[in-house]
Amino acid sequence: MELPQALMLGAELGGRVRSARAAGLVDEWLAEASGFRGSHLGTTRALGWLALARRRANAGEVGGVLRACERGLAALDEHQATFGSQELRALSSSHGAELAELGTRTALASGDARRLLRWAERWRATALSIPWAGAEHDAATTADLAALRAQHSRLAEARSAGQPTERLQARATRLEQAVRQRLFHERGSGETASALDVPELLDALREDDTTLVELTEVDGELHALVAGRGRVRHLHVGPALAASKAVDFSLFTLRQASRGRRTQVEAAGARLQQAVLGRALDRVGESRVVVSGTSTLQGVPWGLLPALADRPFSSTPSARLWLRARSARPADPDRRVMLVGPGLGSGGAEVPAVAAQDPKAQVLDGDGATVAASLAALDGAALAHVAAHGHFREDSPLFSSLVMSDGPLLVHDLQRLERPPHRVVLSACESGVMAPVGDQELLGLAAALLSMGTAGVVSSLAEVDDAATVEVMVALHASLRAGGGLGDALLAARQAAEGDPVMAATAASFTVLGT
């Protein structure tokens, strides 16, 4: 074990012993470990700053703790920026967990809501916030991705024929490992994510008549920072475990309702609102709302909450990403594309229904909806609607995919677009699922689009009914054609679904990520 890590472990164990001698030893070990703040390794520098922050915490120096935590996280920012792989950046965020936790806990104890908001943001979704620059895959990676796509087609054929798939799956796994390892060696741009400017955020929220509710977890308790109308309020919500259980129950309820079974949807929504937001929305009036949950609360079906059901809202991994999305503009405002993948229960029935009302939209379906053609259509589109089966890979989120006519369109493929689509609608089941990775990081299809610069993504968080999805999507696109934003469009879809339990559950299963 390296010396600074050994010293930090000794200090942690010594801190559990209540004696003057133990306290003295802890201070000595922390003092020695803090001497590594000048190391050439970013992770070791961060350990040195963590040691200093803990010494200052023991001495009750609030400002000193926060300055040391900031310096430690800045060292890790530089470390993250050396990686070209978003997955590696996200995984490396775990090195900052203790610094971020100590900083947030200290900010909470200070009683300053603005300070707490800044620290709730400081280490949130930094891998997604790093400025994105598209780049072509090298020849070997391009070849491996093409081979992987072909291998998935063989796997699908073997499964449908009831044939053994072990050898085919092993080959696909080896190809994935080759791609991951090659991308792990890509060098980063050196750019780091910018810190949240709270006054800038408050100005933007006032201009848009929007309220931000940002959730943060400290020592197992959920807290809400409510920002809007020029101020930030702090409210204690309750146990984080209760919130997670309420989310699981709400998703189960929506799945049951989408299958036409009798469920207590309203009761699930009320329970969810109390557990996740408490009284955070009691004083927001008629304003729009944007919610930023913790990484473990990104799968919340916000449309089920009574306080959000009748207003435009969106969610975001971080307030910084919302600010960036707010300022994004489409490369070609008039270009709209609609993609239909194979094997859908509805056959992508919403696409011809929507296209009939929008004859200028480009439609790719059948054999024409290949991965290459789909990527060309998505590049720079103002609005992209994708009706295709999605496969979320919790074990390796950047291999999550959309199924096109010749195989899977992977997140790795999307990340090489020259210009990201401005807004994306994903109508397939569970297309908005993201995986918590590292510390307060997220990976998945929707997260990747936001990180690339896509302003907003409409996607589902639960199983949805095919026929009801058609009606929801038709209502959503009608609102978009009338000039509404994604939040307005999804509100219109929820309103159109009133009185039909299955359609209402389907509409509530969709959410807006971004703006």
Per-residue burial over 257-270, b = 16 or more CB atoms within 10 Å of its CB, e = otherwise? bbeeeebebeebbb
**What pLDDT score was predicted for residue 464?**
83
Prediction pTM value: 0.92
pLDDT reported for residue 15? 79
CA-to-CA distance for 52 and 43, rounded, in angstroms? 15
pLDDT of residue 168: 93
Token pair, residue 428, equals 């397939």
- Residue 133: the pLDDT is 64
The tens-digit pLDDT sequence of the chain (515 residues) is: 588 889 888 888 887 888 878 788 888 999 999 999 999 999 999 999 999 999 999 999 999 999 999 999 999 999 999 998 888 899 899 999 999 999 999 999 999 999 999 999 999 999 888 877 666 778 898 899 999 999 988 998 999 899 999 999 999 999 999 999 988 888 888 888 888 999 999 999 999 999 999 999 999 999 999 999 999 999 999 999 999 999 999 999 998 988 888 788 899 999 999 999 999 999 999 999 999 999 999 889 999 999 999 999 999 999 999 999 999 999 899 999 999 999 887 777 899 999 999 999 999 999 999 999 999 999 999 999 999 988 888 888 889 889 999 999 999 899 889 899 999 999 876 677 788 888 888 888 888 899 999 999 999 888 788 889 999 999 999 999 999 999 999 999 999 999 999 999 999 999 999 99
DSSP codes joined into one string, 229-297: TTEEEEEEEEEHHHHHHHHHHHHHHHHHHHTT----HHHHHHHHHHHHTTTTTTT-TT-EEEEE--GGG
Q: How far is CA 306 from CA 36, 60, 138, 277, 285, in A?
A: 52, 43, 49, 11, 14
Give, for 511, the enclosing helix (H) or strand (E).
strand 510-514
Supply the pLDDT for residue 421: 96
Helical (H) or strand (E) element with 228: strand 221-228
Question: Which bin fits 248, alpha (ψ -120 to 50), beta or left (φ > 0)?
Answer: alpha
How far is 147 from 17, CA to CA, in rounded Å? Answer: 58
- Report pLDDT for 10: 86
Identify whether the C-beta of residue 400 lies closer than 8 Å to the C-beta of residue 444.
yes
Q: Which residue has the tokens 């195989």?
A: 407
| Neighbour tally for 248: CB within 10 Å | 11
For residue 188, the model assigns a pLDDT of 84
